[in-house]
Structure 1
Amino acid sequence: MRLLPLFVFWCLWFLNFSSRTCFSPLLPLIEDNLLLSHGQAGGLFTSYAFGYGLALLVTGRFVSIWGYRRTVVMGFLGLTSLLVLLQWTESYVMFHLVMFGLGLSAGTYMPSILSIITETYDPKDWGKAIGIHDSAASFSIFSMPVLVTLGLGFLPWRSLLLFLAGGCLLLPFLFWKVSKEPRGDGRKGAVRYRDILTKRTTWVIGLLWVFSAACNMGVYSILPLYLIKERGMDFVLANTFFGISRAGGIFVSILAGVLTDRFGYPRMLRWSLATTGLSTIGLALSSNPTQILIALIFQATCSLAFFPVGLAAISRLTPLAERSLTLAIGIAMGMVFGTGGSPFVLGLVADHASFQIGILFLGILTTLCVFSIRFLEQPLHPGPGISPPS
């Protein structure tokens, strides 16, 4: 495996993902500064999610026409501009618009990079390459609370975002040098939304992504509020717990990719969803700080295992011409209803009852999603534990 391109892809995904995760540890400060309720604060992520979902749907359809590499670069230029614009954003409405724009810019990345990765590496290495690449998201989830907490001791929170903007501006130049454009498979421009939406696999992948994203980024988004407002922890301790609990995710993404190459995606999908759901239930039922920390570590680690497995599954279930759009629709569903919708719903549940009840029911529903995996269609690229299409 060529390591330099993979390292650059990893750094790009870290910056892209951090354009969202950097706001989670800042949410209690934003909530207090703008005098928001829990539901209103969680709604900021909903705006990001709608922008992200829209970008996925449009990019997935047209990226083969625009160019995969060009689309990645344009998305990062958008992230740079909007992170700078946040320096002068004061109103709640303007915050929503900027979050929508950040989602719109960030959402162009994944439909483009998956095809670039599968073009760069052999099918036998797809699981490992995708797993290593996806570990950047895990590292972002782990590191952002720690970096934000440290950075706030020296700079205002808006100034911290300028470091992220600088990385988003500079790294695409290196990406352009080490990446190569995917070759077409003779079906350029032929795939329509209807072609993808009539396939059962698209809806199963979308369902799995909704609940996995809700358990991962949905819970992540409201976790500081849950720990500080409902569990009574102070800001520094809550963000310390927040960061420590995410450390294991860095390795589980890589491990999940390796195990997918070894055992096949059907078995790994079942394992990842079951452990995600059960660990989320455990988080809801934890009471004292020690139990909460242990539950956080398990929940954060397990909830990240699905994503590299899901990406590998899409790569094996679809041809190149359909891959970006299938990925876009599946992730868009997960982003809008899982990543974006769940913080809002959990916030509303907390306003009327508690975060604990919302997290408990989310874990139960995620565990039940295991039974939907049997409805996935036969793969085009057989691998371990997978039967070839008849």
Structure 2
Amino acid sequence: MSLRAAVTITVPEVFRWRHSSATQRNTLVATFLGWMLNAFDVMLYSLIITRLMSVFRMDEATAGLLNALTLAASAVGTLLFGSLADRFGRRRMLNYSIITYSVFTFACGLASSVAMLALLRFLVGVGMGGEWNCGAALVAEAWPTKWRGRAMGIVLSGWAVGYALAAMVSGVILTYAGWRWVFFAGLLPVLLTSWIRRKVPEPAIWEHSRASAVSSAEKKALWRAAQPRLVALLIMNTFGMFAWWGLFSWVPAYLVLPSSQGGRDFQMVGMTTLMIVLNLAGMLPGYLSFGVFADRFGRKRSVIFYLVAAALLVPFFAAAREPMVIVVAGCIAAFFGTGFFAGSGTLGNELFPTPIRATALGLTYNLARGLSALAPWVIGRLGETHGLSWAFLACGVAYGAAALSGLWVPETRGLELS
């Protein structure tokens, strides 16, 4: 069936939590928490990167390379967990991915060398990549078309909450203990898995797909039909991921580093406060508002608008010097530069049929993370030679390239999953 034939016209309805079923609510809560805790674990490294640079005597390029390894590993994780989720279930693989990133984040606190820390960050990335496609497919298949954009926006807003929580926890821990204890806190997400196993069922559409399993030849035909859509979304996500990881993996260090090194010379407490504000006043409403726009005006149009806005706003953030201007410019840039991911996730779920959804979704999202894995390293190298504020301009260019690439992504508003 063509994509066009599968689209039906739906009139946006007011979202009401009480109108959803218990299964839908539990699925949404579980995936939100999984994504929130994913961000909590993954972003701990960026939040204490200056401390780690001092302890392990790393330069900016090496520190960025370790972040790049985590992103590259997410592509491995998406292939592993995505294919297993299509075969054995979204819920089961969601749990395994959470356990993976939690255990190896904890293990980072035991690292005694740069090589050991690099290996452990790679393994964190494997779990990080698996969590996304399992959780996103779970929500998309449990929620109806008319509210799917908002549901995905709520799920992805968990990243902003998790990032803010990581900033808060790391700031408190570093006040009383060493950097190793920051990573030890990363084991906490494991507690979520028992609740998911008891309260979250597999989606009915996946159960039906499993009962009427497609043949190998039919699955190959599905992949061939999906290829143009997959490539278009992958290119858009790759540019968007390069921009986001290049910018936000270096923002904490950018705020703390002295002005002589291209930073803004914030104190640790000031940086922690600003990162919390940036997430809760910028990223969080960006995610949540996108779902409303996408359900009303269309996924594609909303994604391109957010990406264009981010491309125009990043240079203003990079040029800001006064603390209040940095806060305002940072929040607005984070609103658009992060919010577009809700559209990427919604498009990815609606562009691909159930038998290949988790794998295809993961490829377009986490393979993009893998392809953009050099972003922290590139920005780190540019920061060494030109200063981070100038290096961030490359992120603005990447957001613009993502917006241009989005023109080739099909619109999916009103699509019923098949």
1:76 aligns with 2:121: no
From 192, 196, 213, the equivalent of 1:175 is 196
Which residue does 1:242 correspond to in 2?
275
Q: 1:269 Cα shift?
A: 1.1
Give the 3 Å change call, closer, same or farther, for CA 131–379 of structure 1 in structure 2.
closer
Match for 1:176: what amino acid?
R
Residues 150-170 of structure 1: CA deviation (Å, up to 9, x unaligned) = 2222232322333330x3221
Counterparts of 1:1-390 in structure 2, within 5 Å, are 1-2=20-21, 3-165=25-187, 167-181=188-202, 182-185=206-209, 186-188=212-214, 190=216, 191=219, 195=223, 199-229=227-257, 230=262, 231-248=264-281, 249-338=283-372, 340-377=373-410, 379=412, 381-382=414-415
Match for 1:93: what amino acid?
A
Query: Which deviates the most, 146-155 or 373-382?
Result: 373-382
Match for 2:253: what amino acid?
L
Corresponding residue pairs, total: 381
**TM-score, with length taken from structure 1:** 0.90
How far apart are the structure 1 equivalents of 2:214 and 2:134? 14
Alpha-carbon contact 1:65-1:189 (below 8 Å) kept: no
Alpha-carbon contact 1:151-1:160 (below 8 Å) kept: yes
Alpha-carbon contact 1:274-1:370 (below 8 Å) kept: yes
Give the 3 Å change call, closer, same or farther, for CA 236–328 of structure 1 in structure 2.
same
Give the 3 Å change call, closer, same or farther, for CA 196–149 of structure 1 in structure 2.
farther
Residues 178-220 of structure 1: CA deviation (Å, up to 9, x unaligned) = 2122324345574359926972222221222123223333311
Alpha-carbon contact 2:255-2:266 (below 8 Å) kept: yes
**TM-score, with length taken from structure 2:** 0.85
Q: 1:61 Cα shift?
A: 2.9
Give the 3 Å change call, closer, same or farther, for CA 360–116 of structure 1 in structure 2.
same
Q: 1:245 Cα shift?
A: 1.7
Q: 1:115 Cα shift?
A: 2.1
How far apart are the structure 1 equivalents of 2:215 and 2:95? 21
Identity %: 18
Match for 2:230: what amino acid?
T
How far apart are the structure 1 equivalents of 2:243 and 2:42? 16
Query: Which deviates the most, 91-100 or 346-355?
Result: 346-355
Match for 2:347: what amino acid?
A
Alpha-carbon contact 2:242-2:398 (below 8 Å) kept: no
Gaps of 5+ in 1: 384-390
Alpha-carbon contact 1:75-1:108 (below 8 Å) kept: yes
How far apart are the structure 2 equivalents of 1:238 and 1:352? 23
How far apart are the structure 2 equivalents of 1:189 and 1:179? 28
Give the 3 Å change call, closer, same or farther, for CA 87–5 of structure 1 in structure 2.
same
Q: 1:92 Cα shift?
A: 0.2
Alpha-carbon contact 1:149-1:239 (below 8 Å) kept: yes
How far apart are the structure 2 equivalents of 1:303 and 1:361? 14
How far apart are the structure 2 equivalents of 1:70 and 1:222? 34
